[in-house]
Copies of this chain bind each other. A is one copy, B any other.
Amino acid sequence: MQNQPIYLKAITLKDISDVDSIKDDAKKHMILIVRITPMAQKDIETLRKAIDDLYNFVKSAGGDIARLGEERVVITPPAVKIWKGIHDLK
C-alpha cells in the first residue's frame, strides 16, 4: 500500500443497497465523502441504520468516520486520521 496513491472519492448514499458498495470502496482503502441528504430526505430511520452499519464496519477495520456538516459523512482507511474538531464543523 505504502507507495500506491490513496484515492479520495465522493459518492451519494441514495439507497440502503449503496451501503455494500461503500463498504467495498472502504475495503480498497479509499477515502470516501458520502453525501447523505438524498436518503435523509427519504427515510431518516433507514439512514440511521445505514450510518450505524457503516460506523461499526469502519471502526472494526481500524478506519475513521465523522460527520461533515449536515450533508456528508467522511470515511477514512487506517492510514488516514480525521483531525479532531471536524465533528464541530459544518
Binding site for B on A (CB under 8 A): 2-3, 5-12, 30-31, 33, 35, 64, 68-69, 71, 74, 76, 79-83, 85-86, 89-90
Number of copies: 2
Chain B positions within 8 Å of A76 at CB level = 8
Closest 6 CB pairs of A and B: A9-B83, A10-B86, A5-B81, A2-B2, A10-B89, A6-B80
Contact at A8–B71, with CB atoms within 8 Å?
Answer: no
Q: How far is the CB of A63 from chain B (nearest CB, A)?
A: 11
B74–A6 CB distance below 8 A? no
Known contacts A7-B80, A35-B69, A69-B71, then 16 further A-B pairs from the complex at CB < 8 Å, ordered by chain A residue: A2-B3, A5-B81, A6-B6, A6-B79, A7-B81, A8-B31, A8-B80, A9-B82, A9-B83, A10-B68, A10-B83, A10-B85, A10-B89, A11-B89, A33-B68, A71-B71
